[in-house]
Structure 1
Amino acid sequence: MARHDAQIWHACSKMIGLLCLVASILRQHGVSGQRVKVEPEVLSYPGQTVNLRCAFTDATGIQLTMVTWIYEPKDGDRINIAVFHPNFDPNYPDSPVKGRVSFTPSPPNLASPSIEISNVRMTDEGKYICEYATYPRGNEQGITYLVMLAKPQNSASIVTVEAGTNPVVVARCESVDGRPAAQISWVTTANGNATTVSKPGANNTVTMTSEYHMVPTAADNGKDLSCVVAHRTQVKPESFPLKLAVQHAPEVTVVGYDNNWYVGRTHVVLTCLASGNPPPLTAQWKTMSGEMPDTVQITDNVLKVLKVDSAVNTTFVCEVENRIGTGKDQVTVFVREPSVNPSNAGMVAGAVIGSLLALLLVAALIAVLVTRSRRQRQGYRGNGGSDMKTRIFGGGKKASKNGTGVGAGSGGGNNNGPVYVYNDGSSHQGLGEKNNHHHQPLTMGGRPEVVATTPTAQDILLSNELDDAERRKFDELEKEERYDHFSGGAPILQLRPPHDQDDMIGDYLDDDMESQRDGSVISRTAVYV
C-alpha cells in the first residue's frame, strides 16, 4: 500500500516539473520577443531603398555575441544575407540581395545592427529575421515583413452584344501588374453577375480580370454599369462608369390619333416614333388596304391628312428597319360624322352660359317684383278678409281724452286718427281696426259700430313705400268708391286714438288731406261709410 502511494507521488512530481518547464519556456519566449525590437511591416516600391531596423533593448545580465539577418521568401528556404561579429568584419553571404544589402550605420554595432537594401525588386518581398546569439539565454529574434507594392494599370470597357436569351459578357474590367492583387467590384441595376480571375504578371505582380455576364434585352440598352477597382496603392477606389450596349430591332410606336377624326376635319397628323440599336434609318408608311388616300402627305416619319374623308377610314402601318431587324406599329382610324365645329365650340359655350345668366337675372327680377307686390298688398288690406281696405284718416281737432271724435268735412288741424277697416261683406260690422286686439265700440246716429285703435309701425312704413304711380292708382280707386257708393248724405267719421295725446301720427295724416269739389277737405285714405 505504501509502495503504491509512492508511485502516485512520483508521477505527480513529474507532472509538476513538466508544467514548470513549459512555463519557463513561455516566459523566456515572451521576454525574448520583447527584447529584440523590429518594425512589423515595411512597404516599398520597386527601385527604392528600404531600411530594416533592429535593436536589443535590454542587455542587462546578457552577453550579446553575434547578430544575423535571415531572408525567408514566401515560397522558399531561409537564407543568411548579413552576419556581424564584433571581432570580425561584416559578412554578406551569397543571396538574392547580395551586393545591395549592407549594415547601417557603418561600422555596425550589436546594440542596433540595422540593414538597408537598395534598388529593391518585387522578388525581394518576404520575411526578414534579425536574430541575436546571446549568452546565457541563447538565440533571440524579431521578424519584419517587407511588402513590395506595385500600382496597377486599371481599365474598363463595354462589350457590344445583341439581345438574346443566353448569358454573354457585356463588360470587362482589368487591373494589370499590381502588387498586391487588386479587388474589383461592379455597381449596376442590370440583372447579371461577375466572375474574376487572376494571373501572374511581370516582376512578381498580379493581373486581375473581371467580366460581367447577363442575358441582354432591349430594355438593358443604355443602362448604367460601373467597375470599381480598389488597391493598396490608391487613396480611394477608382471607378469606371459605363453604359450597356445591347443591339436590338427597332421598337415602333405611332402617336397622334385621338379617336375624333370626323368628315371634314383638316390637318391631322400621325407620327411614327422608333428606337433601336443601331439607330433606324427610315420609316415606311403603308395601309392595310394597300392604297394610300389622296389627301395624305408623308414626310419621313410624319403622316399628315389634309382633309378627313371616307378614304381615311383605314389602318395605317409604320415599319422601321435597322441592321438587327424590323419593327412596326399600326393605328386603325374610324371616321365619324361631322360634329359641332370645334372652331364654334367657344361661341356655343358662350351663348349657353349667357342664356343661363340671363335666365337667372330674370328669375331674380321676378322674385323681387313678387316680394314687393306682396308687401304693397299688405299695406292696402287688413287681416280679416279678402276685400278689406285700410285707411288712415283724422279730424280737424285734437282727439278727446276718451279717444273718439267726429271729423268735419272742412276741418283743419292735425289729422290724427286710428286705422279703420271697411268690410263690404259683413252686415254687422262696417268699420273695424286693422289689428283686432283693442275693441272700443262706438255708435253714432244709428251708424254701424266703429272700432278705433293706434296704427302699427308696419302700416305707416308700408304706406311710405308707395310710389307716385301707386298713389295715383289708389286715388282713382278712392274716387270710384266716393261717387259710386255714396250719395253725399252720409257723414264722415273721424276718430283719434285715445292714446295718441302727443299727436305722434298727426303729421303723417296732415299730409294725407285732399280738397274736394264741394270745398271740403278730407283724408285721402279715409273710409266712407
Structure 2
Amino acid sequence: MARHDARNWHDCTKMIGLLCLVASILLRHGVSGQRVKVEPEVSSYPGQTVNLRCAFTDSTGIQLTMVTWIYEPKDGERINVAVFHPNFDPSYPDSPVKGRVSFTPSPPNLNSPSIQIRNVTMTDEGKYICEYATYPSGNEQGITYLVMLAKPQNSASTVTVEAGTNPVVVARCQSADGRPASQITWMTNANGNATTTSKAGSGNTVTVTSEYRMVPTAEDNGKDISCVVAHRTQVKPENFPMKLEVQYAPQVAIVGYDNNWYIGRTNAVLTCQASGNPIPVSVQWKTMSGDMPDTVQVTGNELKVLKVDDAVNTTFVCEVTNKIGTNRDQVTATVRVTPLPPEGPSAGTIVGAIIGVLIFLAIIGTIIALYKKFSNKKLNFRDRPPKHKPPPPNKTDSSAARQVNIDHVSGGSETLLENQYFTTQSAEPVTDLDAFDEYSDEKKDHYYSAAPSGWDDPETNDMLPPYMHTGNHQGPDEHLVDMDPLSPQDHQGANVQRGDSFMSPPVFV
C-alpha cells in the first residue's frame, strides 16, 4: 500500500511540473506578443493608400536588432516585403507590392517601423506580419489583416412565368463584384424558397446570385416580393420591391341572371366577367341552340334581352380568350309565364330589426330609470325633515265659549248662575314634524280615549290651562270646592266634545 501511494505521489509531482512548464511558456509568449503593437484589421478600397502601423511598446532590457514586414496571402507562402536594419538602408525584396511599399516615416526607426502601400488592389488582401529580431528574447511579432473592400453592383428582377404545377424561378437577385461576399434575403408571402450561389469574379471579387422558386398559380399574380442585399460597404441594406408576374388563362363568370325571366319583361341583362394575364383580347357570346334571338342585343361583355319571350328560353355561353388560352362560362335561362312573387324580408333582416328594436327599448328604459332616480333624489333632498325640532306654534282656541246654565244645585241653597262662561281647550295644531308621514300624504286619525283630557292627544304636548276661579259665590257659609280637573268622576255633566279639554263646574255646599 505504501509503495502504491509513493508511485501515485511521484506521478502527481511530474504532472504538476509539466503544467508549470506549459504555463511559463504560454506566459512568456503572451507577454512578448503584447509588446509588438499593431492594428488587428485594416480595410481599404482598390486604388487607395493604406498605412500598416507597428511599434515596440517596451524595449527595457531588450536589444532591438532588426524588423521585417512579411506578407502572407490567403492561399500562398510568406513573402518578405520590407526589411530595416539600423546599420543599413531599408530593403524591399521582390513581392507583389514592390514599388508600392515603403517605410513611414522615412528614414524609419526600430521603435515604430510602420509601412504604407500605395494604389492597393484586391489581390493585396491578406495577412501582414511585423516581426522584430531582439536579443536575448528572439523574434517577436504582431499580425495585421488587410481587408480589401469592393462595393458590389446590386440588381433584382421578376421572371414572367405561366401558371403550372412545377416549381420555377419567379424572381432573381444579384450582387456582382463585391468584396467580401454580399448577403441576400427575400421577403414575400408567396409560398416558395430561395437558392443562393457565389462565383469568384475579377480582382478577387465575388458575385452572389439568389433565385426564388415556387409553383406559380393565378392567385400569385401581383403578389409582393422583395430582395434585400446587405454588404459591408453599404450604410444600410438595399431593398428591391417587386411584384410577381404570373400569366394564366382567362377566368370567366356570367352574372346578372335572377331566375325571374317572365314573358314581357324588358331589359334583362347578363354580364360576362373575366380576368386573366395578359388581359383578355376577345369576348364572344353564343347560345347552345345556335342562333342568337332577335330580341337580344350584345355589346362587348354585356348581353341585354330587350323583351323576354320564348326565344330566350335557352343557354347563353360567354367565351373569353387571351394569349395563354380560352375559357368559357354558361347560364341557362328559364322563361316563366308570370313573375315570381316579391321576396319578403330575409330571416337575417328580421332578426336584425328585432335586435335593433330591443336595443332601442333598452336605451329608452335606461334613460327613464336614470331620470326617475335623479328626480327622486332631488325630491328627497328638498322634502327631507329638518334635523332639529322647530319651536311649537302659538296655541289658539278653536272652540267657542260655552254658556252653562245651572238651574238647580242639590245639597244647599239654590243659586242661579247666569251667563257663566267657560273656555274649553281645543287640541293643539300639529307641528311640522308631525306632517311628514312616509306612509300617507293625508293627516291620519288619532285615537282618543273615552274621556279625553288633552294628555291623550298625541298631537299636543302643552300643559293644561290653570285652574279657573269663578268669583261669583255669595255668603260666608258657601265654600267653593275645586274639583280635580284630572278626575274622571264628574265628566258626565259637562257637554264636552270629543277631543276638547274641559274644566269641571264648581259645586257650592
Matched, 1:218 2:218: yes
Question: Following TM superposition, by how much is the alpha carbon of 1:339 offset from its aligned partner in structure 2, in angstroms?
Answer: 4.0
**Aligned residue number for residue 325 of structure 2:** 325
**CA deviation map 1:154-188 (0-9, x unaligned):** 11122112222111112211111110111111111
TM-score, L = length of structure 1: 0.62
Deviations 1:439-467 (A, max 9, x none): xxxxxxxxxxxxxxxxxxxxxxxxxxxxx
Say which is worse superposed, 30-39 or 100-109, in terms of deviation: 30-39
Amino acid of the structure 1 residue aligned with 2:131: E
Amino-acid identity (%): 82
CA distance in 2, matches of 1:322, 1:193: 30
Contact 1:69 1:83 in 2 (8 A): yes
Q: Separation in 2 of the partners of 1:54 and 1:99?
A: 20
> Offset at 1:340?
8.6
TM-score (norm 2): 0.64
- CA gap 1:272/1:12 in 2 versus in 1, 3 angstroms: closer
Instruction: Name the structure 2 match of 1:272.
Output: 272
1:37-57 alpha-carbon deviations (Å, 9 max, x no partner): 111111100000001111111
Deviation (angstroms), 1:92: 0.8
What SS is found at the alignment partner of 1:20?
helix
2:204 matched to 1:204? yes
Q: How far, CA to CA, are the matches of 1:274 and 1:288 in structure 2?
A: 20
The correspondence of residues 235-274 of structure 1 with structure 2, limited to 5 A, is 235-274=235-274
Structure 1 pair 340/180, CA: closer, same or farther in 2 (3 Å)?
Answer: closer
The answer for the alignment partner of 1:170 in structure 2 is 170
Q: Name the amino acid aligned to 2:38.
A: V
Query: Corresponding residue for 2:38?
Result: 38
Give the letter for the 1:287 counterpart.
Answer: T
Is 1:108 the counterpart of 2:128 in the alignment?
no
Look up the match of 1:24.
24
Deviations 1:388-422 (A, max 9, x none): xxxxxxxxxxxxxxxxxxxxxxxxxxxxxxxxxxx
Q: Deviations over 1:448-506 (max 9, x none)?
A: xxxxxxxxxxxxxxxxxxxxxxxxxxxxxxxxxxxxxxxxxxxxxxxxxxxxxxxxxxx
Aligned to 1:314: 314
Shift of 1:72: 0.7
The CA distance in 2 between the partners of 1:67 and 1:319, in whole Å, is 87
C-alpha distance 282-8 of structure 1, shift in aligned 2 (>3 A) = closer
How many Å separate the matches in 2 of 1:340 and 1:198?
71
Within 1, Cα distance between the matches of 2:258 and 2:111?
Answer: 96
Q: Which moved more, 1:68-77 or 1:187-196?
A: 187-196
Does residue 1:334 correspond to 2:334, yes or no? yes
Where 1:306 maps in the other structure, the secondary structure is strand
Q: Which runs of 5+ in 2 are unaligned?
A: 343-509
What SS is found at the alignment partner of 1:129?
strand
Q: Distance in 1 between matches of 2:301 and 2:3?
A: 115
Instruction: Show the counterpart of 1:494.
Output: none
SS at match of 2:289: coil
* Offset, 1:334: 2.2
Deviations 1:230-258 (A, max 9, x none): 11111111111222222211111111222
After superposition, what is the alpha-carbon deviation per residue over 1:79-102, rounded to whole angstroms, capped at 9, x for unaligned?
A: 111111111111111111111111
Contact 1:264 1:338 in 2 (8 A): no
How far off its partner does 1:262 sit? 2.4
Q: Distance in 2 between matches of 1:20 and 1:224?
A: 65
Deviation at 1:115, TM superposition (A): 0.6
Counterpart of 1:248, as a letter, is: Y
Question: In 2 relative to 1, CA 337–33 (structure 1 residues): closer, same or farther, beyond 3 Å?
Answer: farther
Amino acid at match of 1:310: D
Is the CA contact 1:266–1:306 (under 8 Å) kept in the aligned structure 2? yes
Question: Conserved in 2, the CA contact under 8 Å of 1:46 and 1:149?
Answer: yes
TM alignment of 1:69-218, pairs within 5 A: 69-218=69-218
Contact 2:38–2:54 at 8 Å: present in 1 too?
Answer: yes
What do the CA deviations read for 1:263-295 (whole angstroms, capped 9, x no partner)? Answer: 222222111111112211120001111121111
State the AA in 2 paired with 1:323: K
Change (3 A) 1:335 1:15: same
Q: Which amino acid aligns with 1:142?
A: G
Give the C-alpha shift of residue 195 in structure 1.
Answer: 1.1
Q: Helix, strand or coil: the match of 1:21?
A: helix
What are the equivalent positions in structure 2 for 1:456-495 lying under 5 Å apart?
none
Query: Structure 1's 309 and 29: CA in aligned 2 closer, same or farther, altered over 3 A?
Result: same
Q: Structure 1 counterpart of 2:50, which letter?
A: V
Tell me how many residue pairs correspond in the alignment: 342
Deviation digits for residues 338-388 of structure 1, max 9, x if unmatched? 34999xxxxxxxxxxxxxxxxxxxxxxxxxxxxxxxxxxxxxxxxxxxxxx
**Corresponding residue for residue 68 of structure 2:** 68
The match for 1:56 is: 56
* Distance change in 2, residues 1:339/1:108 (3 Å): same
Structure 2 match to 1:229? 229
CA distance, structure 2, for counterparts of residue 37 and residue 218 of structure 1: 64
CA contact (8 A) 1:282 1:301 kept: no
Distance 1:211 1:11 in 2: 63
The answer (yes or no) to whether the contact 2:221–2:244 under 8 Å persists in 1 is yes
Mapping of residues 341-420 of structure 1, within 5 Å: none
Q: Indicate conservation of the 8 Å contact 2:223/2:243, yes or no.
A: yes
- 2:260–2:339 contact (8 Å) kept in structure 1: no
* 1:300–1:12 Cα change, 3 Å: closer
Residue in 2 that maps onto 1:420: none
Equivalent position SS for 1:123: helix
Find the aligned partners of 1:12 and 1:275 in 2 and give their Cα distance. 87
Tell me by how many angstroms 1:6 deviates.
Answer: 8.8
Relative distance call for 1:7 and 1:225 in structure 2 (3 A) is closer
Q: Which structure shows the bigger proportion of residues in helix conformation?
A: 1
Structure-2 separation of matches of 1:208 and 1:340? 69
CA drift at 1:152: 0.7
SS at match of 2:211: strand
User: Which consecutive residues of structure 1, in runs of 5 or more, have no partner in the other structure?
Assistant: 343-529
SS in 1 for 2:336: coil
